Protein backbone atom coordinates (compact mmCIF):
# COMPACT_ATOMS: atom_id res chain seq x y z
CA UNK A 1 0.00 0.00 0.00
CA UNK A 2 1.31 3.45 -0.94
CA UNK A 3 0.35 6.81 0.56
CA UNK A 4 -0.48 9.90 -1.49
CA UNK A 5 -1.06 13.57 -0.83
CA UNK A 6 -3.99 15.24 -2.59
CA UNK A 7 -4.79 18.95 -2.62
CA UNK A 8 -7.86 21.11 -2.09
CA UNK A 9 -7.63 24.82 -2.87
CA UNK A 10 -10.80 26.71 -1.84
CA UNK A 11 -9.68 29.62 -4.07
CA UNK A 12 -10.17 27.35 -7.09
CA UNK A 13 -13.06 25.11 -6.01
CA UNK A 14 -15.73 25.74 -3.38
CA UNK A 15 -16.66 22.60 -1.45
CA UNK A 16 -20.34 23.47 -1.05
CA UNK A 17 -21.27 20.08 0.45
CA UNK A 18 -18.46 19.91 3.03
CA UNK A 19 -20.75 20.03 6.07
CA UNK A 20 -23.09 17.36 4.64
CA UNK A 21 -20.07 15.21 3.76
CA UNK A 22 -18.76 15.52 7.34
CA UNK A 23 -22.20 14.43 8.62
CA UNK A 24 -22.07 11.45 6.27
CA UNK A 25 -18.67 10.42 7.68
CA UNK A 26 -20.13 10.75 11.17
CA UNK A 27 -23.16 8.58 10.32
CA UNK A 28 -21.62 5.94 8.05
CA UNK A 29 -17.88 6.02 8.73
CA UNK A 30 -17.04 7.27 5.25
CA UNK A 31 -17.75 9.80 2.53
CA UNK A 32 -17.17 8.84 -1.09
CA UNK A 33 -15.65 11.53 -3.30
CA UNK A 34 -14.15 11.74 -6.77
CA UNK A 35 -10.86 13.63 -6.59
CA UNK A 36 -8.33 14.75 -9.18
CA UNK A 37 -5.02 12.91 -8.82
CA UNK A 38 -2.94 15.17 -11.08
CA UNK A 39 -0.86 13.09 -13.49
CA UNK A 40 -0.40 10.17 -11.08
CA UNK A 41 -1.41 6.86 -12.65
CA UNK A 42 0.17 4.51 -10.08
CA UNK A 43 -2.59 4.74 -7.42
CA UNK A 44 -4.11 1.36 -6.58
CA UNK A 45 -7.23 0.23 -4.72
CA UNK A 46 -6.65 0.56 -0.97
CA UNK A 47 -3.83 3.10 -1.20
CA UNK A 48 -3.88 5.67 1.61
CA UNK A 49 -4.94 9.23 0.76
CA UNK A 50 -4.37 12.41 2.76
CA UNK A 51 -6.04 15.65 1.68
CA UNK A 52 -4.08 18.87 2.18
CA UNK A 53 -5.86 22.24 2.17
CA UNK A 54 -3.78 24.84 0.32
CA UNK A 55 -4.33 28.36 -1.02
CA UNK A 56 -5.77 30.03 2.10
CA UNK A 57 -4.95 29.83 5.80
CA UNK A 58 -5.13 27.58 7.66
CA UNK A 59 -3.17 25.21 5.44
CA UNK A 60 -2.85 21.57 6.43
CA UNK A 61 -4.36 18.10 6.36
CA UNK A 62 -8.16 18.09 6.60
CA UNK A 63 -8.99 14.53 5.55
CA UNK A 64 -7.73 10.98 5.24
CA UNK A 65 -9.11 7.91 3.54
CA UNK A 66 -8.47 5.17 1.01
CA UNK A 67 -8.54 4.92 -2.78
CA UNK A 68 -11.53 2.91 -4.01
CA UNK A 69 -10.58 3.01 -7.70
CA UNK A 70 -7.57 3.23 -9.94
CA UNK A 71 -7.07 6.46 -11.94
CA UNK A 72 -9.46 7.17 -14.80
CA UNK A 73 -10.10 10.10 -17.13
CA UNK A 74 -13.10 12.38 -16.82
CA UNK A 75 -14.03 15.99 -17.65
CA UNK A 76 -11.82 18.49 -15.77
CA UNK A 77 -13.38 19.75 -12.49
CA UNK A 78 -13.07 23.39 -13.60
CA UNK A 79 -15.45 22.84 -16.51
CA UNK A 80 -12.70 23.41 -19.06
CA UNK A 81 -13.01 21.42 -22.27
CA UNK A 82 -10.34 18.88 -21.31
CA UNK A 83 -10.04 15.64 -19.37
CA UNK A 84 -8.05 14.96 -16.23
CA UNK A 85 -7.22 11.95 -14.08
CA UNK A 86 -9.42 11.16 -11.07
CA UNK A 87 -9.76 8.47 -8.46
CA UNK A 88 -12.64 7.61 -6.18
CA UNK A 89 -11.75 7.91 -2.52
CA UNK A 90 -13.57 7.08 0.72
CA UNK A 91 -12.67 9.64 3.37
CA UNK A 92 -12.86 8.22 6.90
CA UNK A 93 -11.99 11.55 8.54
CA UNK A 94 -13.10 14.92 7.17
CA UNK A 95 -12.59 18.25 8.93
CA UNK A 96 -13.99 21.71 8.20
CA UNK A 97 -11.04 24.12 8.52
CA UNK A 98 -13.46 27.00 9.18
CA UNK A 99 -14.98 25.29 12.26
CA UNK A 100 -12.29 23.08 13.81
CA UNK A 101 -8.54 22.63 14.03
CA UNK A 102 -6.61 20.94 11.22
CA UNK A 103 -3.17 19.34 11.14
CA UNK A 104 -1.26 22.42 10.00
CA UNK A 105 1.69 22.53 7.63
CA UNK A 106 3.73 24.04 10.49
CA UNK A 107 3.28 20.80 12.48
CA UNK A 108 4.02 18.73 9.37
CA UNK A 109 7.33 20.55 8.87
CA UNK A 110 8.74 19.18 12.15
CA UNK A 111 10.84 16.08 12.81
CA UNK A 112 11.37 13.63 9.98
CA UNK A 113 8.19 14.87 8.29
CA UNK A 114 10.14 17.99 7.28
CA UNK A 115 11.73 15.80 4.57
CA UNK A 116 8.39 15.74 2.69
CA UNK A 117 7.29 18.60 0.40
CA UNK A 118 4.16 19.96 2.11
CA UNK A 119 3.65 22.68 -0.53
CA UNK A 120 3.24 20.63 -3.72
CA UNK A 121 1.91 22.15 -6.93
CA UNK A 122 -0.63 19.41 -7.68
CA UNK A 123 -2.49 16.37 -6.35
CA UNK A 124 -1.25 12.82 -6.36
CA UNK A 125 2.17 13.29 -4.79
CA UNK A 126 3.60 10.21 -3.14
CA UNK A 127 4.43 10.43 0.56
CA UNK A 128 7.94 9.10 1.12
CA UNK A 129 7.53 5.50 2.39
CA UNK A 130 9.94 6.04 5.29
CA UNK A 131 7.68 8.87 6.58
CA UNK A 132 4.30 7.12 6.38
CA UNK A 133 4.36 5.58 9.88
CA UNK A 134 5.34 8.91 11.45
CA UNK A 135 2.63 10.75 9.49
CA UNK A 136 0.01 8.22 10.60
CA UNK A 137 1.16 8.57 14.23
CA UNK A 138 1.08 12.39 14.10
CA UNK A 139 -2.36 12.30 12.43
CA UNK A 140 -3.74 9.89 15.04
CA UNK A 141 -2.25 11.93 17.89
CA UNK A 142 -3.74 15.10 16.41
CA UNK A 143 -7.21 13.52 16.03
CA UNK A 144 -7.24 12.15 19.58
CA UNK A 145 -5.99 15.32 21.30
CA UNK A 146 -7.92 18.06 19.49
CA UNK A 147 -11.51 19.19 19.90
CA UNK A 148 -12.98 17.85 16.68
CA UNK A 149 -16.75 17.78 16.22
CA UNK A 150 -17.02 14.39 14.53
CA UNK A 151 -14.05 12.38 15.71
CA UNK A 152 -14.10 8.71 14.64
CA UNK A 153 -11.60 7.75 17.33
CA UNK A 154 -13.46 9.20 20.32
CA UNK A 155 -17.02 7.93 20.96
CA UNK A 156 -19.63 10.61 21.50
CA UNK A 157 -21.78 10.61 24.64
CA UNK A 158 -24.90 10.10 22.53
CA UNK A 159 -23.25 7.71 20.08
CA UNK A 160 -25.72 6.28 17.57
CA UNK A 161 -25.14 3.09 15.62
CA UNK A 162 -23.09 3.77 12.50
CA UNK A 163 -24.01 2.10 9.25
CA UNK A 164 -21.15 0.42 7.39
CA UNK A 165 -21.38 -0.75 3.80
CA UNK A 166 -20.15 -4.27 3.08
CA UNK A 167 -16.89 -4.40 1.18
CA UNK A 168 -15.65 -0.93 2.03
CA UNK A 169 -12.49 -0.45 4.08
CA UNK A 170 -12.89 0.79 7.64
CA UNK A 171 -9.88 1.62 9.79
CA UNK A 172 -9.76 0.12 13.27
CA UNK A 173 -7.33 1.40 15.89
CA UNK A 174 -5.73 -1.01 18.34
CA UNK A 175 -3.43 -0.25 21.25
CA UNK A 176 -0.87 -3.01 21.58
CA UNK A 177 1.52 -3.44 24.51
DSSP assigned state of 61? E
DSSP conformation letters of 111-169: GGGGGS-SS-SSS-EEPPGGGHHHHHHHHHHHHHHS--TT-TTS--TTPPPPP--TTS-
DSSP assigned state of 55? S
User: What pLDDT was estimated at residue 161?
Assistant: 45
Whether the Cβ atoms of residue 68 and residue 21 lie closer than 8 Å to each other: no
* pTM for the whole structure: 0.85
Whether the CA torsion 113, 62, 45, 75 is positive or negative: it is: negative
User: What pLDDT was estimated at residue 155?
Assistant: 65
Entry field: residues in the chain? 177
Domains and CATH numbers, the chain: 3-145 (3.10.590)
Whether the Cβ atoms of residue 37 and residue 4 lie closer than 8 Å to each other: yes
Whether the Cβ atoms of residue 3 and residue 135 lie closer than 8 Å to each other: yes
User: What pLDDT was estimated at residue 2?
Assistant: 97
**Low-confidence residues of the chain, pLDDT below 70?**
154-177
Whether the Cβ atoms of residue 110 and residue 60 lie closer than 8 Å to each other: no
Q: What angle do CA 86, 90, 92 make, to 5 degrees?
A: 140
**Listed residue (166, 150, 157, 169) closest to 25, CA to CA:** 150
Amino acid sequence: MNTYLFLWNPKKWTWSTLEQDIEQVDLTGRCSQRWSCGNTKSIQLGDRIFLLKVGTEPKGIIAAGFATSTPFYERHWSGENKDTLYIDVDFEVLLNPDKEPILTVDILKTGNLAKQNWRPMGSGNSIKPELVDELEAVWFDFLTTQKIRHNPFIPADNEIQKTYTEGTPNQVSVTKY
